[in-house]
Amino acid sequence: MKDQYQVVVIGGGIVGCSVLYHLTLRGMTDVALIEREELTAGSTWHAAGGFHAMNADTRIAALQKYTIGLYPQVEQESGQSAGLHMSGGMELAGSPERWHWLKSELQWLRTQDTDAYLLTPGEAVELVPIIDPTGLYGALFDPLEGNLDPNGATQAYAGAARKRGAEVIQHNRVLSLALEPSGEWRVETEQGDITAEHVVNAAGLWARKVGNMVGVDHPLVPMPHHYLVTAEVPQVAAIEGDMPAVTDLEGFTYLQKEGRGVLLGVYEQNPRHWKVEGADWDFGRTLFPEELDRIMPELSIGFRRFPVLQDIGIRRWVNGAFTFTPDGNPIVGPVDGIPNYWAACGCMAGISQCAGIGLAVANWIADGDPGYDVFGMDVGRFGPYATNDRYLRATTAQFYARRFVMAYPNEELPAGRPLKTTPCYDELLDAGARFTVNWGLEVPLYFAPSPGFEENDTLGRSNAEPIVGEEVAAVRTAAGAYEIAQYARYEVRGPDAEAWLDRLLACRLPAVGAIRLAPMLNEAGRLMGDLTVARLDDDRFWLTGSYYLQEWHPRWFHSKLPASGVTFTNITDDYMGFSVSGPASRAILGELTHDDVSSEGFGFLGVRRMDVGTARAVVGRISLTGELGYEIVVPSNRHRTLLHELREAGAPHGLRLIGDRAIDSLRLEKGYGIWSSEFRQDYTPAMTGLDRFVAFDKGNFVGADAARRERDAGAPAQRLVLLEVDATDADASADEGIWIGDRRVGFVTSGAYGHHVDMSLALAYLDTDVAESSPELTVFVVGEPRTARILPEIPYDPKGARLRDLTA
Ligand SMILES: Cc1cc2nc3c(=O)[nH]c(=O)nc-3n(C[C@H](O)[C@H](O)[C@H](O)COP(=O)(O)OP(=O)(O)OC[C@H]3O[C@@H](n4cnc5c(N)ncnc54)[C@H](O)[C@@H]3O)c2cc1C
């Protein structure tokens, strides 16, 4: 062991070893992995070793596919077998709804270039003869599944990394981490101190404790998990070669071939937590006694689905721990305010995800950017609220118990809610609000007129759509008020605020009293934000962005902040308000202010301080609905009063409270994109159409060179279009493939029913040659092929006359 390395990776499980290997792939060879005990001594040694590419997040799914594809290379480089079995795997459908859902998953897999296909119950039994097909509707077979030997795979990563120059130091616990004045880390270990430029926390079951060493609390907790391994099963032993893995979604179990028998694992509905603060330092290669009472309900279903197992002996029980996060995805990347500390933990599917994590971390350290849109596993996607013990227990238990439970797109899950509420919550609830959750905040989805209304969980359009339609109609004909507490706001002030923002934002900065749409790019010319920037004074700006990016965006801004001359403050919780839009919105605002709100006095994209009712407000003339509208923002302690005053002034004008669902319908009628759907980190200005807000000629700004290169290169490979879909009972949502015959020509980014224009609408990226030729397209909506066409113009108010108030 040396006393100095460029990077020290803490933890020798499959994730840490993959990170180490990927660092060497990026040419970093002055790197060491420090392991407390022996490699795999955490969760990895007892993992069942199964892998698959499925993930609800398509970007993570792509990284899982990358992980699976990399194993042969790591085996070859290291000379160490990972015990790879590319057996394929099937998911069983035990209900008609699940069967429908699997059909849509099939189309989703086709969009990911996976050759999956459907099986009849009989075909499933032919492949896995111990399945009892009673009650089965069919199965989905995915060839990109299998299993491996977790120990062999981990050793293979470590061996390949060693061959490329990395060091692996075992039996050496990291005791503490301290940031030196030089900006380097002093890593105190049992075998002596090390200085390192970067440290990576890949400490698995201990990752929360290692995070605490640098003052970070990561939202992850260990939970025990069971599987059993049987003695020989004659029908399985008779199969030459591999047998496909089976996931019985309605049965909460998974099964794979293990020697001449099988391994049967359970995701029980009654999970438990263990050592929420992290495993004890001396926790060894230890298994827990089996807890049969807790898992028996699901295990019994497993024995019914695979009845032959009732007569076969159990050779081994494994009840071991691994870590969960609130959404089940890992925690990866840099943490705001802690330089050169990298998270690579919270990974509950290490066999499927280790290479994706390693690739992202290595790229991030080498280039300052993960190279892919990895938001779904970015440590920055959670806020401080997520580490609260009660919240973390509730959400991780919910994720665990629902691992195989079917999720409906319109389903609202209860764990950890309500957590954050605005001062208007009770009043909105009384007004019929049904809520969704955004970064812990309760956000109205729609307002049900009758207290007894219950929305049905469905893959198609729900019974709430007529209510959404009424909210849309109110906005188009009168006015709607939408709570905008779920916008993040940042104040940028100081003598150098203008120069700093001018460099960070790709748009031209607005004059005092004006708002601009502000794309923000990284150095590679990819999007880092679709903000709006409002200039309140010469040296005072407000940025508005997505509520759930309140760790992610500040991390970016702080990384660019100069030592003096500019302050950047998150004021999201200090200011809230309502967006009032629709033809009557001016009259409503006019009743609450003496300011001139006429079109001449307060034009489109203006921003003003004015009294609104009893509050001093900041009002922007901007809306996401395509109508004349105002965003009225007040100090949070006036938010509730503002709601009263708006409702009182608005009632004679037909003002209605509206929620997120109406906004989606309204914005799609205008073809407006939003962050995480149409605008993402892996898209560029030209693809998204945001290039029209980029001030290419303004001089230097972050991403300018790349953006100019893109502009000069001509048309991008894909671009954003608005589609009309021939669908009457379900709408596209996201990630559905778009096809012409067998050619995949694009994918959907968001969809909704446009209530006013009476169309099923979808925003989508299409290959540019296709986008220009306007052919007939096929979109698979919940697995069913639907004809779709590009709309030649935006279906609602294409010239923007209503938004700009040019209709009079
Ligand atoms: C029963 C069971 C079955 C599973 N089956 C599957 C499966 O089929 N497929 C799948 O993808 N996943 C499965 N998993 C999950 C899988 O085991 C984990 O996702 C994976 O092992 C996580 O790897 P890791 O490297 O992040 O963490 P770990 O394997 O926990 O590695 C962390 C390492 O860090 C070391 N360490 C900690 N603190 C320090 C310190 N201070 N100094 C030095 N070293 C330190 C530890 O000793 C440990 O070796 C299963 C888990 C269980 C419990």
Residues 583-637 have pLDDT tens digits of 999 999 999 999 999 999 999 999 999 999 999 999 999 999 999 999 999 999 9
What's the farthest any 2 CA atoms get from each other in the chain?
A: 85
Report the predicted TM-score, pTM, of the whole model to 2 decimal places: 0.97
Amino acid 807: pLDDT: 65
pLDDT, one tens digit per residue, over 246-288 is: 999 889 999 999 999 999 999 999 999 999 999 999 998 999 9
| Residue 320 burial by Cβ neighbours in a 10 Å radius (0-12, 13-18, 19+) | buried
Does residue 271 contact residue 397 with C-beta atoms inside 8 Å? Answer: yes
What separation in Å is there between the alpha carbon of 367 and the centre of ligand 1? 27
- How many other C-beta atoms lie within 10 A of the C-beta of residue 16? 33
**Dihedral sign for Cα atoms in the order 616, 622, 624, 627:** positive
What separation in Å is there between the alpha carbon of 203 and the centre of ligand 1? 8
What separation in Å is there between the alpha carbon of 168 and the centre of ligand 1? 17
- How many other C-beta atoms lie within 10 A of the C-beta of residue 577? 31
Is residue 16 pLDDT above 90, yes or no?
Answer: yes
What separation in Å is there between the alpha carbon of 24 and the centre of ligand 1? 21
- Residue 34 CA: nearest ligand 1 atom is 43
The token pair at 545 is 């962005």
Tell me the mean pLDDT in the region 44-59: 92
Among protein residues, the one whose CA lies closest to atom 26 of ligand 1:
204
- pLDDT grade, residue 431 (50/70/90)? very high
Please state, rounded to an integer, the average pLDDT across all residues of the chain. 96
pLDDT, one tens digit per residue, over 676-690 is: 999 999 999 999 999
Among protein residues, the one whose CA lies closest to atom 18 of ligand 1:
350
pLDDT, one tens digit per residue, over 190-222 is: 999 999 999 999 999 999 999 999 999 999 999
Does residue 275 contact residue 391 with C-beta atoms inside 8 Å? Answer: no
pLDDT, one tens digit per residue, over 66-99 is: 999 999 999 999 999 999 999 999 999 999 999 9
- Residue 226 CA: nearest ligand 1 atom is 1
- pLDDT grade, residue 29 (50/70/90)? very high
Q: Which of 520, 578, 577 is nearest to 549 (CA)?
A: 520
Does residue 228 contact residue 264 with C-beta atoms inside 8 Å? Answer: yes
Q: Which of 276, 374, 393, 386 is nearest to 330 (CA)?
A: 374
With pLDDT > 70 as the criterion, what percentage of the chain qualifies? 100
- Residue 17 CA: nearest ligand 1 atom is 25
* Measured distance between the N- and C-terminal CA atoms of the chain, rounded to whole angstroms: 77
Among protein residues, the one whose CA lies closest to atom 31 of ligand 1:
13
What separation in Å is there between the alpha carbon of 204 and the centre of ligand 1? 5
Rounded to whole angstroms, the Cα distance separating 695 from 700 reads 10
What separation in Å is there between the alpha carbon of 205 and the centre of ligand 1? 7
What separation in Å is there between the alpha carbon of 66 and the centre of ligand 1? 20
Q: Which runs of E-coded beta strand occur in 26-105?
A: 31-34, 50-51, 89-93
- Residue 205 CA: nearest ligand 1 atom is 30
- pLDDT grade, residue 356 (50/70/90)? very high
Pocket of ligand 1 (CB under 6 A): 10-16, 34-37, 41-44, 46-51, 173-174, 202-206, 210, 225, 227, 318, 320-322, 345, 347-352
Amino acid 808: pLDDT: 52
Q: Does residue 219 have a cis bond before it (omega within 30 degrees)?
A: no
pLDDT, one tens digit per residue, over 727-739 is: 999 999 999 999 9
What separation in Å is there between the alpha carbon of 193 and the centre of ligand 1? 25
